[in-house]
């Protein structure tokens, strides 16, 4: 019976994103999870796709056939294919957007077309056709389409090429080419009939004999190793191959930026406190149950949560199951990877965007092929192609970086919960400042709650002081640093101890105005102010990358004099160098960590004591463990408190608590100073006291009164277009249709709609943006209502110029 492949295709707009059926050509071994190419649309232009099912179907004669099979083996397992469907249903992405999220970027392929003359094809008389004929006849082999078009000055799909192909004069072929090739190692082994030196039937030179003796000893080795250890050149091996005494073959190798090696320490030997051991034993029991469970490990900063992870991971590995360990930012991976490799050696694979495409591809393949039993990485590591998962750990689970802002708009915590349910695995969330939703679920008993109340070992929580910047004298030494913090920095320098300063704004000056009319220098593509960067002497937009010279004329009055104000990390770095000329100052922000492995280098230098003061953005605030850091300063705390979303207090509390927790993590006592113009804000006082329970009690009451998560779900609906009026009208029409459908078909569904209104940044990268939020219960009925309204929207020709996005984990207050 004929086989039919159910295929999802790339570049499908929402309006025609569905599963298509294709006939499988006889002898094509396509299976679910394999990529294919297929003719698509009225013009039958070839597109890539992924087979999600292969079934027998008697009436398949009228279906288009698949063109080629890209992958001989499935890239996605049945469980990962089910995750593709889950992502599409829950995040409103297209099928292929979900597929691409699960695959490493280096595994991409592209179509390549070639032309060649048919055998015995007669020379055409038409001059234009003769040009093509003569060009290909002179090559004598297939020519790539790009080369042919460039040489003859033709456009793609030129009529002359179509005509010659239709008459059979030309043959057009399609090839699939990998963008990133597999790493290959040339290996050498003896012919299968040679078991000892006397079995060689040819006369050997002394150098050839040395090669044969080495191969008899080791069996097989790389060509490079043979040449090195036998002290011969490649030609010696080539002559053995020509004589039939040896054979060359290739072996795939995995390119990793991290040195492979055996474990140097045993995680089972980690000594736990009584409190840690109780949490460890409970986690082992949950993992051994083979039931999908979620636990929250809540412990103060420095309480030794990582030690509990490591012991639990060792227990799960001993049971023959795999582990995914997630961290919120690339900056946190170096210390974590170093620690994991120390305990688990080459069993650890790494997945994050800081790797090259070849390295990410090879790590992904190593995981898929069973070469790694632990995956450490950022958000995308949740899609690791690991089988038999026993534990998924999400460290600092409250962090916003676990939420994807690009399609598919997923939260790693939700994906991890889905995968844990598939595998019967334990999902472990951990933080000193858990998200309000997670802590609420734990308090209700839906999550297992495990608490670490004390710091590990001899360390104790730092002493914290709140500094009122409004009370600073007018003639102060610095506009960014208070007199008391300057004195404390000097005290640390005298003691040979290190300090960390947090300022979550990069650049030099954050606001540039005209000195005459006070017009603010803004980005022409985005409705945001430009930031002055002293490192390159330009004004920069941190959203679209636009740059301008600071001496350009004011667009309002034409004056060229600008007034600079506001401090970023670059300016504070300069002030520190002027205040402490002998201090070794390190700035860590996006501008200084763009280079490959820059995080690793900076953190190793800090640990080695090469810097005295570290000024940085939030990348220096979390998860880092430097024993000699005894002073932490939070500059401009107010900027984190008053953002336009319902999570602003939660994020600020977490940031302050985390950065304060970097101080005094070893035997030396720590202290921290929080600079603010609103010292009366209770969030600052609670963070200074490291009182998460007190913060949670206040925040959960506010969420309940104002109806925000966890007491409802928030779905964001965004509209983006080139024209302000059209974008606003599209948002209005969507709301009207949504309200009509809700009233007609979904009566009784709890819904509360906010907006639509302008986004906080109304213009971004040249497009105007509007948004609305729906407070709801994000269940099957609500998703059906949203899907139906979205399908209606995509079917309206008048609305096609305005992009619609649906975000099921919206975090703005509107």
Q: Is the omega angle on the peptide bond into residue 710 within 30 degrees of 0, that is, cis?
A: yes
Could you tell me which residues come within 8 angstroms of residue 18 by beta carbon, excluding any fewer than 6 positions away?
A: 8, 12, 95
What's the sign of the alpha-carbon dihedral 27, 116, 148, 165?
negative
The secondary structure of residue 424, as a DSSP letter, is T
Whether residue 557 is annotated as binding a ligand: the answer is: yes
- Among 194, 183, 190, 184, smallest CA distance to 237 is for 190
Whether residue 517 is annotated as binding a ligand: the answer is: yes
Are 335 and 325 within 8 A, CB to CB?
A: no
Whether residue 541 is annotated as binding a ligand: the answer is: yes
- Among 192, 181, 237, smallest CA distance to 214 is for 237
Backbone angles phi, psi at 745, to 5 degrees: -115, -10
Are 483 and 490 within 8 A, CB to CB?
A: no
- Among 742, 719, 750, smallest CA distance to 732 is for 719
Whether residue 526 is annotated as binding a ligand: the answer is: yes
Task: Show the CA angle centred on residue 329, arms to residues 343 and 505, nearest 5°.
Answer: 140
CA distance 279 to 757: 47
SS3 for 107-118 is HCEEEEEEEEEC
Whether residue 554 is annotated as binding a ligand: the answer is: yes
CA distance 696 to 686: 10
658, with CB counted inside 10 A (0-12, 13-18, 19+), is buried
Are 459 and 685 within 8 A, CB to CB?
A: no
The secondary structure of residue 530, as a DSSP letter, is -
What's the sign of the alpha-carbon dihedral 472, 474, 478, 480?
positive
Whether residue 284 is annotated as binding a ligand: the answer is: no
Tell me, rounded to whole angstroms, the distance of Cα 707 from its chain centroid.
Answer: 31
Could you tell me which residues come within 8 angstroms of residue 237 by beta carbon, excluding any fewer than 6 positions away?
A: 188, 211, 223, 226, 227, 246, 248
Q: From the CB of residue 320, how many other CB atoms can be counted at a distance below 10 Å?
A: 9
Helix (H, G, I), strand (E, B) or coil at 198: helix
Question: What would the DSSP string read from start to end of 457-509?
Answer: TT--PPEEEEEEGGGS-TT-S-SSS-HHHHHHHHHHHHHT-EEEEE----SSB
- Among 26, 36, 95, smallest CA distance to 60 is for 26
Report CA Rg, the chain. Answer: 31
- Among 728, 729, 789, 712, smallest CA distance to 763 is for 728
Contacts 24+ apart (CB under 8 A), 677-682: 677/468, 677/469, 677/470, 677/638, 678/638, 678/641, 679/466, 679/467, 679/468, 681/641
- Among 259, 258, 260, 264, smallest CA distance to 343 is for 264
CA distance 524 to 526: 6
Are 398 and 654 within 8 A, CB to CB?
A: yes
CA distance 168 to 113: 16
User: What is the DSSP pairing of strand 183-190 with strand 170-178?
Assistant: unpaired
Q: From the CB of residue 648, how many other CB atoms can be counted at a distance below 10 Å?
A: 16
User: What is the DSSP pairing of strand 322-326 with strand 389-395?
Assistant: parallel
Q: Inter-axis angle of helices 648-660 and 692-706, to 10 degrees? A: 170
User: What is the DSSP pairing of strand 109-117 with strand 170-178?
Assistant: antiparallel
Extract the annotated binding site for Zn(2+). Answer: 514, 517, 523, 526, 541, 544, 554, 557
Annotated binding site: 514, 517, 523, 526, 541, 544, 554, 557
């Amino acid at each position: 019976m004929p086989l039919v492949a159910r295929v999802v295709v790339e570049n499908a707009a929402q309006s025609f994103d569905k599963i298509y059926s294709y006939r499988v050509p006889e002898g094509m071994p396509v299976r679910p999870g394999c990529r294919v190419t297929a003719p698509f649309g009225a013009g039958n232009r070839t597109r890539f796709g992924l087979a999600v099912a292969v079934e027998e179907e008697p009436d398949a004669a009228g279906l288009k056939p698949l063109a080629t099979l890209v992958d001989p083996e499935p890239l996605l397992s049945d469980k990962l294919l089910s995750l593709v469907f889950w992502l599409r249903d829950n995040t409103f992405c297209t099928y292929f957007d979900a597929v691409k999220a699960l695959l490493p970027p280096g595994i991409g392929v592209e179509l390549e077309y070639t032309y060649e003359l048919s055998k015995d094809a007669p020379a055409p008389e038409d001059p234009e056709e003769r040009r093509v004929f003569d060009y290909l006849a002179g090559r004598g082999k297939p020519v790539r389409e790009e080369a042919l078009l460039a040489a003859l000055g033709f456009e793609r799909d030129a009529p002359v090429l179509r005509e010659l192909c239709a008459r059979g004069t030309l043959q057009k072929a399609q090839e699939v080419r990998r963008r990133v090739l597999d790493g290959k190692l040339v290996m050498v082994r003896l012919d299968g009939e040679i078991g000892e030196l006397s079995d060689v039937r040819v006369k050997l030179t002394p150098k050839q004999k040395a090669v044969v003796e080495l191969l008899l000893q080791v069996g097989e080795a790389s060509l490079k190793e043979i040449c090195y250890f036998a002290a011969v050149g490649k030609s010696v091996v080539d002559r053995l191959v020509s004589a039939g005494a040896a054979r060359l073959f290739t072996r795939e190798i995995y390119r990793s930026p991290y040195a492979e090696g055996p474990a140097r320490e045993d995680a089972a030997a980690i000594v736990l406190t009584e409190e840690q051991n109780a949490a460890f034993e409970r986690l082992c029991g949950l993992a051994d149950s083979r039931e999908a469970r979620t636990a929250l490990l809540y412990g103060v900063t420095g309480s030794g949560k990582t030690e509990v992870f490591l012991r639990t991971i060792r227990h799960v590995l001993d049971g023959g199951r795999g582990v995914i360990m997630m961290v919120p930012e690339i900056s946190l991976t170096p210390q974590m990877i170093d620690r994991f490799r120390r305990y688990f050696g080459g069993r650890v694979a790494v997945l994050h965007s800081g790797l090259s495409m070849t390295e990410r591809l090879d790590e992904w393949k190593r995981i898929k092929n069973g070469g790694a039993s632990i995956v450490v990485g950022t958000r995308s590591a949740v899609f690791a192609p690991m089988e038999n998962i026993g534990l998924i750990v999400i460290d600092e689970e409250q962090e916003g970086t676990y939420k994807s802002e690009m399609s598919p708009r997923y939260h790693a915590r939700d994906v991890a919960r889905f995968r844990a349910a598939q595998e019967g695995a334990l999902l472990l969330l951990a933080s000193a400042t858990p998200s309000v939703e997670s802590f609420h679920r734990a308090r209700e008993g839906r999550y297992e709650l495990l608490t670490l109340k004390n710091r590990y070992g001899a360390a104790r929580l730092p002493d914290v002081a709140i500094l009122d910047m409004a009370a600073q004298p007018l003639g102060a030494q610095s506009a960014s640093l208070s007199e008391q913090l300057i004195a404390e920095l000097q005290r640390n320098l005298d003691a040979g101890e290190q300090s960390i300063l947090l300022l979550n704004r990069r650049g030099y000056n954050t606001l540039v105005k005209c000195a005459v009319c006070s017009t603010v220098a803004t980005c022409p593509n985005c409705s945001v102010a430009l930031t002055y960067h002293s490192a390159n002497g330009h004004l920069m937009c941190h959203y679209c990358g636009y740059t301008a010279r600071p001496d350009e004329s004011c667009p309002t009055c034409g004056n060229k004099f600008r007034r600079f104000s506001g401090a970023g990390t670059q300016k504070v770095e300069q002030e520190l160098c002027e205040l402490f000329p002998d201090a070794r100052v390190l700035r860590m922000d996006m501008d200084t960590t763009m280079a490959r492995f820059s995080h690793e280098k900076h953190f190793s230098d800090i640990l080695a004591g090469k810097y005295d003061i570290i000024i940085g953005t939030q990348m220096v605030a979390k998860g880092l463990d430097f024993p000699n850091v005894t002073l932490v300063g939070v500059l401009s705390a107010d900027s984190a408190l008053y953002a336009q979303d319902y999570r602003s207090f939660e994020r600020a509390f977490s940031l302050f608590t985390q950065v304060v927790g970097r101080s005094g993590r070893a035997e030396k006592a720590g202290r921290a100073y929080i600079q603010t113009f609103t010292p009366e804000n209770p969030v600052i006082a609670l963070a200074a006291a490291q009182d998460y329970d007190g913060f949670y009690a206040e925040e959960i009451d506010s969420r309940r009164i104002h109806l925000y998560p966890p007491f409802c779900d928030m779905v964001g609906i965004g509209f983006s277009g080139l024209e302000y009026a059209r974008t606003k009208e599209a948002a209005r029409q969507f709301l009207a249709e949504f309200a009509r459908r809700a009233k007609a078909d979904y009566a009784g569904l709890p819904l509360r709609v906010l907006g639509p209104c302008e986004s906080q940044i109304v213009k971004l990268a040249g497009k105007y943006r509007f948004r609305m939020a729906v407070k709801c219960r994000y269940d099957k009925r609500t998703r059906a209502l949203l899907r139906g309204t979205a399908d209606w929207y995509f079917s309206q020709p008048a609305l096609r110029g305005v992009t619609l996005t649906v975000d099921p984990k919206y975090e703005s207050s509107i």
